[in-house]
Each structure stands twice: as structure tokens, then as C-alpha cells.
Amino acid sequence: MTQPRPYRIIQISDTHIAANPERALLGVTLRTSFNAVVELVRQHELNQMDLILLTGDISHDGSETSYLYAANTLKSFNVPVYAILGNHDDALTMASVYPCHTMRTDKQIILGPWQIILLNSHVPGQVHGLLNEQELEYMEHCLQQYPDKQAIIVFHHHPLPVGSQWLDKLGLINARAFWRIISNYANVHTVLFAHVHMAFQHHVQQIPCYSPPSTCIQFKRGVVHFALDHVPPGYRWINLHPNGQLETDIRRTEHYIGVFDRDAKGY
């Protein structure tokens, strides 16, 4: 008997698309690097993925053009793309453009025995993140609504240190409150985040937490001050199996897209 196939989720993040097609960040032309990752997804995931999670910093400049560019590029996959806000995003502009084409702004996705809960950790004008009372209440509402489904919780900012001092000051500032609530629920399976521009995994309260590479520049782990990592961009794939198991890994383009800036001091 053949096993039922898992749900396949593709996480694309920190695309930082700008209105100017030539806009570059520390030697990486944003659209060129994004397009390379999109082609990688096309090569490996076409006709087998169920949905895309676009986990914030979709735009670098908050422009309508950048949100439209992401929507127009990703619509060719013909799967729903769930977008959440990152610190660089403009909440009003993004809300004026999405939903459109295949872009969705739903905050809850049900997939058989799984539910995905998408939260907003964006704080206007700040780099750090926060899950406000409304978001935390919504999360609890979803967890109580489906006690028997395994929950994947998704938001932009990191709810645990990733080991780079400068970046760990800019994560989810109320991570403690978040984890305190999570400790009351046995149905939280995994936390997915972004913002850190690096593939990372670790456990908190035995709950696995994962982030993907950015589609543009990658941040270095284990440093005090900002530094870039010389690794190619990529995406994370996640398989949600019907038996409640999750497997995940990342895939990167063959080469670094652009010119590596080893002396970059910030962005």
C-alpha cells in the first residue's frame, strides 16, 4: 500500500525586493538573487508543493511596486502564497496590495491533521519584533479551536538567540511571554521564523524552531558585530506527514549571487 504523500511547504524569506529593479544590497542585486531562488524552487518543487510561506521582509523599501513584483513572480507556481509582515515591510502598503493573484493574507491554514498559524510580529518603525496581545490571543484561540491538530506557528522575528550578538538584540522582545503561553499547549509542534538571514535550527521547550536562508544576503552566525556569510541564498522545504511527523531541510543555489562584500559593516 502506498503511503499518503506529505503536505509540502516551501518557505521563502527576506526577499527585500525594491522598487528599483537594479537595487543592490552589499553586492547582491535583490531581484536577481530572488529570481535565482525562484528558479531553484521551480526546478525542484514544481507540481509537488502545496503552498508557499513568504515570511516577511518581502519588500526592502515598502513600495507597492515591490509587493506587486513578488506577487507577479510567484503566481506562476499556481499555489497559494501566504505573506506575513517583516520589519522592513510597510503594513499599510502591503495590505493595499495583498491579497492579489495567488497571494493570501489568511492567518490560519488547515492541512489534514495540521494547522499553520501565521502571526504578525512587526512593530512599526522598529527592527525588533513583538507579538502583541491581540496576536497572542489569536494564537491561543487557534490552539484551543483545534486541540487535536498539530500546530506550526509562524512569524518573522526570532524567538530565541541565534548566536550573533548584534542580531540577538533585534529579535522577538517578548519571547518569554510567548514561550510561557506555549508551555500550556501540548499541540504546538514547530515554530518557523525568519529575519536572521541564516539557516538555523534549535529547540525551546523541546519544540523545534527553524529559519531559512534569505533570498539575498546571509548573516554570519557566532559573531559580535554585523558580518556577512559567504553562502548562497536559498529556501527551506518542510514536509508535513499525515502521521504527525515533520521533516525539513534547506536548498541553496549553486553559487553566491552577486559580489561578496567581506568588509560589510551593516545594511
Closer to Fe ion by Cβ: residue 126 or 245: 126
Cα 18 from chain centre? 18
Q: Which of residues 179-238 bind Fe ion (CB under 5 A)?
A: none
Beta bridge partners of 136: none
Cross-sheet strand order for the sheet of 7-12: 103-104, 81-84, 51-55, 7-12, 234-240, 246-252
Cell numbers placing 10: 516551501
> Least distance to Fe ion from the beta carbon of 134, Å?
24
φ and ψ at residue 77, rounded to 5 degrees = -80, -20
Closer to Fe ion by Cβ: residue 34 or 114: 34
Closer to Fe ion by Cβ: residue 142 or 192: 192
Could you check whether the bond before residue 124 is cis, i.e. omega within 30 degrees of 0? no
What distance in Å separates the CA atoms of residue 232 and residue 33, rounded to the nearest whole number?
9
Closer to Fe ion by Cβ: residue 1 or 125: 125
Site membership for Fe ion, residue 135 (CB under 5 A): no
**Binding segment toward Fe ion, per CB under 5 A, in 56-64, 97-105, 143-151, 155-163:** 56-64
Candidate list 7, 9, 14, 79; residue touching Fe ion; CB under 5 A:
14
Start-to-end CA distance of the chain, whole Å, equals: 53
> Least distance to Fe ion from the beta carbon of 245, Å?
30
**Binding segment toward Fe ion, per CB under 5 A, in 50-58, 116-124, 164-172, 204-212:** 50-58
> Least distance to Fe ion from the beta carbon of 158, Å?
11
Residue appearing with cell numbers 547582491? 28
**Binding segment toward Fe ion, per CB under 5 A, in 9-17, 30-38, 41-49, 231-239:** 9-17
Closest CA to 237 of 49, 61, 57, 75: 49
**Binding segment toward Fe ion, per CB under 5 A, in 13-21, 75-83, 125-133, 172-180:** 13-21
Closer to Fe ion by Cβ: residue 97 or 196: 196
What distance in Å separates the CA atoms of residue 14 and residue 20, rounded to the nearest whole number?
17
What distance in Å separates the CA atoms of residue 92 and residue 98, rounded to the nearest whole number?
10
Closer to Fe ion by Cβ: residue 10 or 142: 10
Site membership for Fe ion, residue 57 (CB under 5 A): yes
**Binding segment toward Fe ion, per CB under 5 A, in 52-60, 165-173, 182-190, 205-213:** 52-60
Closest CA to 238 of 109, 58, 51, 108: 51
| Helices assigned H by DSSP within 80-227 | 91-97, 133-145, 165-168, 175-182
> Least distance to Fe ion from the beta carbon of 61, Å?
13
Site membership for Fe ion, residue 45 (CB under 5 A): no
> Least distance to Fe ion from the beta carbon of 139, Å?
22
> Least distance to Fe ion from the beta carbon of 144, Å?
32
Q: State the residues that interact with Fe ion by CB under 5 A.
A: 14, 57
